[in-house]
Structure 1
Amino acid sequence: MRPAWTILLPALFLCIGFAPAVAQSGGDRGIRPDDPNPPAFLATSFDLTTMTSPSPPDDGAAQEAVQGPVDAQGPLPPDADRERRYASLGSRIGAAKWETIGLFAYITATQAYWTDGTTHFHFKDEGWFGRNTNNLGIDKLTHAFNAYLFAEFLGARMARKTQDRARAAAPAGLLSIGLMLYGEMWDAHKKDSGFSVQDVIFNTGGATFSVLRHTVPGLEEKLDFRLLMMPNSQVYTFKGKRHYEQQRFLLSLELAGFQGLRDSPLRFIELQIGYRGKNFTNAERAAGIRPERDIFFGVGLNVKQLFFRDSRSRLGRAIGSGLNYFQLPYTAVHVH
């Protein structure tokens, strides 16, 4: 069994998410006895014995039915009403409450599946990107990327209701940090792991990048944070050091995001910088092979612009959106 207090933080986030928006009511029209121009529903006389409405005016104009007092300002436009409904931080978080619950369940299930043995809460200094670290820092970038994906997903879901992606960025980032911290609490009780301050810092960094991407004008169209999974002899390794060796994390600058290049041939070009590590499995270290860490630069093909720029199908739009986060193998040339 897991200590009960490890779920308090995500529970707090979920409670905030259910906080309702505070509605501000409009002012009602006041009625004075001495008003020389009383509302129509008071000026009109009714025959209570027959409960019939009076005859129409002599000019033949249809008399408008009155349903009750109307706000002096009239009904709010849809955009203004939506802005009022999602004015508070709690109401914007609540717009993605079910998605947050789903991610919470996903983290719980995966952490429970991969946990072999538990112990008391403890810290572990995992280092950063040194050759003597367990995974050369690839695991730190994995934490940043997962937090980034959570923030992107939750922000997109909030924006479906609020119609304001920029204002959804910060609450989505906070939820992502909270969910990743919940996962770190599981690590804090694993015998082969521990609570890592380095992981928390990179979780925060990944979520923060998502916030910046949607609040700095033009950044979303220009800069992507992506994962490139290079196939190995197993095609895909699900866990362990060989899994980390497959991962390359990169920032991709899309020339199509610049206004002057959107309709030029340069829109198919991306400039990339990334990080990878290799030769750090236990067998390779035991054989005396020196672990390698590489910062690489490259030029990539903007597959989204090439095939999915004006896609009208739901599948095409989904694939195009996914290419903002995942780099297809063999679609770029990198120099290590």
Structure 2
Amino acid sequence: MVFRKLLPFLLLVLLAAPLGYAQVPDSTAMDSSKVDRRKLVPIVASEAAFYLGGMSYLQFIWYKDHERVPFHFYNDTKGYLQVDKFGHAFGAYVESYIGYKLLRHAGVPKGKALLYGGTLGLVLQTPIEVFDGLYEGWGFSVPDMVANTAGSALVIGQEILFGEQVAKYKFSFSPSPYYRQANGYLGDSHLESLFLDYNAHTYWLSVPINKLALKNTLPDWANIAVGYSANGMFGEFENKRYYRGVHLPETARYRQYLLSLDIDWTRIKTDSKLLNTLFKGMFFIKLPFPALEVNSKGQVKGHLLHY
């Protein structure tokens, strides 16, 4: 299920690199610039092809063995201690961010780029939610739609208010200690656990320290990040006791709130075109740094490195 909902995000990340998104600086072209159709046409065509391919995969492969039912809803607000909702917002944020930057790279005026690119996350995610509402075993999730909207709104709102993405939405993953105890429930490999183990996900808002201090005392790329994660989860709403005939360990589900340092890759300037491309493409990745954790068990912890 997680892979299915990340499909548009993964496709768009693959699309962005060959089309040269990584070369777009944060201060993009002026609104008066002429639209470069040589850049715009392949962007639109590639996005459309990937989108149609993804939707076809869902309709003809993913749902083919599931019964079509009348449209219905599914309330998963409390699922996975809301880590899933942070993931939805993250996917929509990245899709909208890339969509907006690609259009600006092609010279599309800012207003239209926000309208057609900044809403891309919501546009890509909504059909998946509608499909869910039409098949047995899922349902249309209003909380998912709220999270998707929030992800796109974060891109659009910051561009309108600040003219840039002051706070970048980032993701980090580290295999959880529950992975090997789950007998495959959290994935049979580390790659599968990336999509199935919410215990291993952390979502961050990363802001330049200079922006908070209102003066340039540190390098522009030095950031501070606040993060959210959760642990102890062997099920969506409550922990499963057995999986594949094996008893799963009893664990307490709890939330984690984190404070850490970070790097804003897009603000690192080098003379290397390759490095500049690499850094721009890593805008959504949070690096391991020391972190302070406060959790819902009432504990305060320090981590030498948290990822």
When normalised by structure 2's length, the TM-score is: 0.66
Q: Which of 73, 78, 82 is matched with 2:34 structurally?
A: 82
Percent identity reads 15
Question: Could you list the runs of 5+ residues in structure 2 that have no partner in the other structure?
Answer: 1-29, 180-188, 242-248, 295-307
Instruction: Please give the residue correspondences for 1:111-126 in structure 2 after superposition, counting only pairs within 5 Å.
Output: 111=58, 113-115=61-63, 116-126=65-75
Aligned to 2:192, what secondary structure does the other structure show? coil
Q: Which of 218, 234, 248 is matched with 1:281 structurally?
A: 234
Asked whether the equivalents of residues 301 and 332 of structure 1 are also in contact (C-alpha less than 8 Å), the reply is no
> CA offsets, 1:249-283, max 9 Å, x none?
11111124579644x33645422212111111149
By how many angstroms is 1:95 displaced? 8.6
By how many angstroms is 1:325 displaced? 1.0
Asked whether the equivalents of residues 230 and 253 of structure 2 are also in contact (C-alpha less than 8 Å), the reply is yes
Instruction: Please give the residue correspondences for 1:208-227 in structure 2 after superposition, counting only pairs within 5 Å.
Output: 208-217=153-162, 219-220=164-165, 222-227=166-171
> CA offsets, 1:191-239, max 9 Å, x none?
221111111111111111111122222552x311111112346544346
Partner of 1:229: 173
Query: Superposition RMSD on alpha carbons, in Å?
Result: 3.4
Asked whether the equivalents of residues 224 and 259 of structure 2 are also in contact (C-alpha less than 8 Å), the reply is yes
Aligned to 1:311, what secondary structure does the other structure show? coil
Counterpart-to-counterpart distance in 1, 2:151 and 2:265: 23
Residue range with higher mean Cα deviation, 139-148 or 226-235: 226-235
Aligned to 1:155, what secondary structure does the other structure show? helix
Instruction: Please give the residue correspondences for 1:48-87 in structure 2 after superposition, counting only pairs within 5 Å.
Output: 82=34
Partner of 1:331: 289
1:237 aligned partner, one-letter code: E
Counterpart-to-counterpart distance in 2, 1:191 and 1:97: 33
Partner of 1:246: 200
Partner of 2:91: 146
Counterpart-to-counterpart distance in 2, 1:326 and 1:317: 15
Residues 320/110 of structure 1: CA separation in 2 closer, same or farther (3 Å cut)? farther
Instruction: Please give the residue correspondences for 1:173-188 in structure 2 after superposition, counting only pairs within 5 Å.
Output: 173-188=118-133
Asked whether the equivalents of residues 173 and 202 of structure 2 are also in contact (C-alpha less than 8 Å), the reply is yes
Partner of 1:299: 260
Aligned to 2:67, what secondary structure does the other structure show? coil
1:302 aligned partner, one-letter code: I
Partner of 1:322: 281
Partner of 2:304: none
The count of aligned residue pairs is 241
Instruction: Please give the residue correspondences for 1:8-87 in structure 2 after superposition, counting only pairs within 5 Å.
Output: 82=34
Asked whether the equivalents of residues 264 and 283 of structure 2 are also in contact (C-alpha less than 8 Å), the reply is no
Residues 280/197 of structure 1: CA separation in 2 closer, same or farther (3 Å cut)? same
When normalised by structure 1's length, the TM-score is: 0.61
Aligned to 1:216, what secondary structure does the other structure show? helix
Partner of 2:8: none
Residue range with higher mean Cα deviation, 94-103 or 284-293: 94-103
2:155 aligned partner, one-letter code: S
By how many angstroms is 1:301 displaced? 3.6
1:172 aligned partner, one-letter code: G
Which structure carries more relative contact order (alpha carbon 8 Å, separation 6+)?
Answer: 2
1:246 aligned partner, one-letter code: A
Aligned to 1:300, what secondary structure does the other structure show? strand
2:278 aligned partner, one-letter code: I
Partner of 2:21: none
Residues 202/275 of structure 1: CA separation in 2 closer, same or farther (3 Å cut)? same
Counterpart-to-counterpart distance in 2, 1:289 and 1:238: 18
